[in-house]
Structure 1
Amino acid sequence: MYFAAPIVYGVLRRHPRHRKGCAVVGFVILLAGLIGASFAETVPQLLATQGVLYAIGGSIHYFPAFLYLDEWFIQRRGLAYGIVWAGTGTSGIAIPLTMEWILANWGFRTALRTWAVITVVLTTPALMFLKGRLPDRHASLGPQRLDMAFLRSPTFWVLQAGNVIQCLGYFMPTLYMPSFAVAQGWSSLSGTVAVSLCNGANVVGATLTGWLVDRYHVTTAINFCAVGTVLAVFLFWSFAVYQPVLYTFAVLYGLFAGGFSATWSGCAKPLRQRYPAVETGMVISLFSAGKGLGSVISGPLSGALVKSDSWKNHADFAYGSGYGSLILFSGITASFASIGWFGKKCGIV
C-alpha cells in the first residue's frame, strides 16, 4: 500500500480530473478485498484478497486526498496533514477491542464482513464531500507536468534516510504488545488495551506535531518525536513488568512516535528553498514509500530478533521477557530519525 503512493499521486497529479473517480474505484477494490478475504479457504487466497487486493484498493482510494489537501491548505498545511494522520489513530481506539471481541465470538469471516459494512457506512458520506478548491476547468486542462528535480537534493535523501531507519522499528511495539503482555503473564486483552491507548495518543501526537511543523523548522518537530520515542522505549517499555507501566509506555509511544508521519509535510519546506516547484503531496508519497520499505523489512527482522533473543530469562526487567532485543532495536532506530537535525547543523538540510 505504501509503495503505490508515489505512483498514484504522480498519475493523478498529471490527470487531476480523475482523482475523485479514482478514490471511488479504489474504495470498491478495497471492499472487494475485504469481502473476498472473508470467503478465503487457503492462505494464498487470503494473501491475494486481504494482502494484495485490499492494499491496492487502499492506495488508490487513500492517496488522492493529498491532492485535495494541497489545494485547500497553505498556511496551516502541516496541521491539516497532522489531523489526517490522526484519523488513523482515532479509528484504532475502538477497533482493536471490537475486532478481538468479534474474532473470539464469531471468527474472522464475520469480523471481515463487519468491518466491510462499517467501512461503507463511514466512508460513503465522506466521498460525497470530496471537492477541490480550484474550479473544474483548471483540473481539465490535460496532463500537467510534475517536477521531480528535488530528488537530486541531498536534503531529501538525508531526511528520507532518517525516515526509513526509524520505520524499521516503528511497527514493532504495537505489533508485539499483545504477545508481550502474554509473555509477562497477563491476559491478551491487556495487550489489546495497550494498543488502543497507543492509537488514542496517536491522535494527539499527530495533531500536535502538525502544529509544530507549521511554526518551526521540520527538524525541530522530528527531534520532538525522536527524543520522546526513545525515552518512552528505554524508560518505560524496558521496565514494563507491571501493567500500568505498559499502559504508560503505550500512551507515550503513541504521543511521540505517532507524530513522525505528520513531519513529512514539513520536509517539503527546506526542499522548496532550492526547488520552488516541490509539491508537498509528492514528498509525502515518497516518504510513505520509505515507510513501506521499513515495514517490509521490519516484519521478518522483528521475527528474527524475537527468535534469537538470548536475554530471555537471563536479563532483568522487560529485557528478560523474550523481547529484549526488540526493545533495544526499537529505541535505537527511533534515535536515527534525528539524522535530519544533524544534517541541518551541517548545512545539508
Structure 2
Amino acid sequence: MSLIDRPVAAPVRRPHDHRAWWIVAVAATAIMAAGAFGTLPGLLVAPLHHEFGWSHGTTGLAMWVNMALNGLIAPFAAALMERFGPRRIAAAALLTIAAGAALTTVMTAAWQFTLYWGVLIGLGTGAMGGTFATVVTNRWFVRRRGLATGILTASGVFGQFVFLPPLAWVVEHLQWRAGTVTLAMAALVVVPLAWFWLRDHPSETGTTAGPSASPSAPPRARPFQVLRGAARTRTFWLLAGTFAICGISTNGLMWTHFVPAAGDHGMAPTTAASMLTLIGIFNVAGTVASGWLTDRYDARLLLAVYYTLRAGTLFVLPQLLGPSVHPPLIAFIILFGLLDVATIPPTIALSAIRDRFGTEESAVVFGWTLAAHQLGAGLMALAGGLLRDALGTYTMVWIFAGLLCLVAALMSALVPAPAPGAEPRAR
C-alpha cells in the first residue's frame, strides 16, 4: 500500500490540555536556546574579516554548509524523534551545538570554521528546528495545533533575535569569542531542562493519546520512504519550492546579510542588530497570529498574501538603508517582522493534509520541505556574500529575492485544494 493511499486513523481528543502546554513551554525553551545561533553569524562577518582576513564569501561558505545541513538533517531528525522520542534528540542536539560553538573559539583556519560552525552547529540546530516543533505539536495537540505550532516557531525566532543587541555589544566592545561562549553556555544550561522535563508522548503522563507505536521502518530508511511517496504529489513540490524561496529571503539574506549590508550604508553594528531584534519581536506576534489564522482560513491563500507582501518590503529596502534609523525603516522592520516566519504554520498545515501525506508522515514531509528551505537559505548566504564581494553592494540581491517571493506567491496559489474533510482543522 502506498503512502498516499494509506488510511489514517482520526486523531483522538486528548484531555488535560494544560499538560500539553507545559510541554510546549519546555520545548520552546530548548528551541529558543538553539535558535540563538541563527543570527549570530551576521555579527561575525566583520570581526572574522579583521582578525583572519576572510572575505564575505569565505564566511558565507561556512554559513551555506550550516544552513544546508540544518535542512538536510530535518527529515532524519523527525524519523529519529518518532523512533526514540524528542527528549533524547533535543538533549543530544543541544550538546552538539555547544561543542561546535566552543570549538569555534579556538579555530585558526577557515576550514575549521566550516567544520565547527557549518557542520556541528548546522546539524544540532537542524535537529531542533521545525520538525521538532511538528513532532511535539502532532503528538500533544488536536485542538489548537496551529496556535501551538505558531508559539514554538515564534520561540525559535525569539531566540534568534533577543540575544542580538547584547551579543552585538559584546562582539563590538569585547571580542567575538565572548559572544560565542555565551551562547554555548546557554545551550548547555537548557540540556538538563530538556532531559528531565520534556516528555516524548502524552501516554507518559497518563493522557489519552493517538497511536504511539514506533514506525516499522528504520530511522535512516523511513525519510526516503516518505519522500518517495510525497514526491508523487504536486503539493509537495510546490511547498518545497515556496519554502526554498522563503529560506532565500529570510535566513539566507535578511538574517545573514542585513547587519553587514546596513554597515555598508554607515549604520553601526549595534544599531543594525537592534533592528533585527525588532524584526524578531514582531516575528513572535506575526507567527502566533499566523498560527491562529491557519486554524481558520485557507493556508494557500495565507501563503500567497505573505509572499506578495514580503516581496514589496524587499523591493524598497535598498532605498531605506542609511546611517540612522528613520520612520520608513521602522515601518519596514515592523512589516517584515510580521511576515518573516509567518509562512511556517500554513506550510506545516499543508504538509499535514491527510489525503496527500497522512498525519503520521507529516513531520517527515515537513522535514523535507524544511530541507528545501535551508538549502535555499544556504545558497543565498553564500551567493549574497560572493555578490557583495563582486559588486560592492547588496542592492541587486534584495531585488532578486523580492522577485523570487512573487514567484512563491504564485506557487502557493497553485497548491491543489485538499479534499473535503482532509485538511486538519481545530476540533
Q: Deviations over 1:50-107 (max 9, x none)?
A: 2212222333455445322211112322221111111122223331111112122331
Q: Deviations over 1:14-51 (max 9, x none)?
A: x2x44422222222222211222222233222322222
Superposed CA RMSD: 2.9
Supply the distance in 2 between the matched residues of 1:140 and 1:165 (Cα, whole angstroms).
35
Q: Deviations over 1:179-205 (max 9, x none)?
A: 232222332322112111111111111
Supply the distance in 2 between the matched residues of 1:346 and 1:61 (Cα, whole angstroms).
30
Kindly indicate whether residue 370 of structure 2 is the aligned counterpart of residue 299 of structure 1: no
Give 1:237 shift. Answer: 4.7
Deviates more, 1:282-291 or 1:182-191: 182-191
Question: Residues 333 and 110 from structure 1, CA distance in 2 versus in 1: closer, same or farther, beyond 3 angstroms?
Answer: same
SS in 1 for 2:345: helix
How does 1:265-276 map onto structure 2 within 5 Å? 265-269=348-352, 271-276=353-358
**1:41 corresponds to which of 108, 111, 120:** 108
Give 1:346 shift. Answer: 9.2
SS in 2 for 1:194: helix
Find the counterpart in structure 1 of residue 267 from structure 2.
186
Give 1:219 shift. Answer: 0.9
Find the counterpart in structure 2 of residue 7 from structure 1.
76
| Residue pair 1:37, 1:46 contacting (<8 A) in 2 also | yes
Deviates more, 1:136-145 or 1:64-73: 136-145
Structure 1: gaps (5+ residues): 313-321
Q: Deviations over 1:154-193 (max 9, x none)?
A: 1111222222234323331333322232222332322112
Question: Residues 342 and 281 from structure 1, CA distance in 2 versus in 1: closer, same or farther, beyond 3 angstroms?
Answer: same
Amino acid paired to 2:97 = L
Kindly indicate whether residue 193 of structure 2 is the aligned counterpart of residue 125 of structure 1: yes
| Residue pair 2:286, 2:342 contacting (<8 A) in 1 also | yes
SS in 2 for 1:2: helix
Give 1:153 shift. Answer: 0.7
Find the counterpart in structure 2 of residue 167 from structure 1.
247
Give 1:337 shift. Answer: 1.9
| Residue pair 1:169, 1:330 contacting (<8 A) in 2 also | yes
Q: Deviations over 1:292-336 (max 9, x none)?
A: 110121123213433454xx8xxxxxxxxx332022112111222
**2:333 corresponds to which of 235, 250, 253:** 250
| Residue pair 1:162, 1:339 contacting (<8 A) in 2 also | no
How does 1:93-172 map onto structure 2 within 5 Å? 93-122=161-190, 124-135=192-203, 143-145=215-217, 148=226, 149-170=229-250, 171-172=252-253
**1:23 corresponds to which of 90, 105, 109:** 90
Find the counterpart in structure 1 of residue 372 from structure 2.
290
Kindly indicate whether residue 394 of structure 2 is the aligned counterpart of residue 323 of structure 1: yes
| Residue pair 2:279, 2:337 contacting (<8 A) in 1 also | yes
Give 1:252 shift. Answer: 1.4
SS in 2 for 1:272: coil
Deviates more, 1:177-186 or 1:238-247: 238-247
More helix by share: 1
Find the counterpart in structure 1 of residue 119 from structure 2.
52
Amino acid paired to 1:279 = E
Supply the distance in 2 between the matched residues of 1:86 and 1:158 (Cα, whole angstroms).
24
**Length, aligned pairs only:** 335
Amino acid paired to 2:88 = G
Supply the distance in 2 between the matched residues of 1:57 and 1:210 (Cα, whole angstroms).
25
SS in 2 for 1:4: helix
Q: Deviations over 1:218-269 (max 9, x none)?
A: 1122023112212222345544456223232122111112212232212125
Supply the distance in 2 between the matched residues of 1:222 and 1:31 (Cα, whole angstroms).
35
**1:71 corresponds to which of 117, 139, 150:** 139
Question: Residues 292 and 61 from structure 1, CA distance in 2 versus in 1: closer, same or farther, beyond 3 angstroms?
Answer: closer
| Residue pair 1:169, 1:329 contacting (<8 A) in 2 also | no
Q: Which has the higher contact order (CA 8 A, sep 6+)?
A: 2
| Residue pair 1:181, 1:190 contacting (<8 A) in 2 also | no
| Residue pair 1:159, 1:339 contacting (<8 A) in 2 also | no
Supply the distance in 1 between the matched residues of 2:200 and 2:286 (Cα, whole angstroms).
28
Amino acid paired to 1:59 = G
**How much identity, in percent, do the aligned residues show?**
20
| Residue pair 1:181, 1:191 contacting (<8 A) in 2 also | yes
Supply the distance in 2 between the matched residues of 1:290 and 1:179 (Cα, whole angstroms).
25
Give 1:120 shift. Answer: 2.7
| Residue pair 1:25, 1:60 contacting (<8 A) in 2 also | no
Question: Residues 182 and 64 from structure 1, CA distance in 2 versus in 1: closer, same or farther, beyond 3 angstroms?
Answer: closer
Supply the distance in 2 between the matched residues of 1:289 and 1:135 (Cα, whole angstroms).
30
Deviates more, 1:228-237 or 1:102-111: 228-237
How does 1:211-230 map onto structure 2 within 5 Å? 211-230=292-311
Supply the distance in 2 between the matched residues of 1:150 and 1:323 (Cα, whole angstroms).
37
Deviates more, 1:161-170 or 1:71-80: 161-170
Supply the distance in 1 between the matched residues of 2:285 and 2:102 (Cα, whole angstroms).
32
TM-score, structure 1 as length reference: 0.84
Supply the distance in 1 between the matched residues of 2:126 and 2:257 (Cα, whole angstroms).
25
TM-score, structure 2 as length reference: 0.70
| Residue pair 1:238, 1:327 contacting (<8 A) in 2 also | no
SS in 2 for 1:116: helix
| Residue pair 1:167, 1:333 contacting (<8 A) in 2 also | no
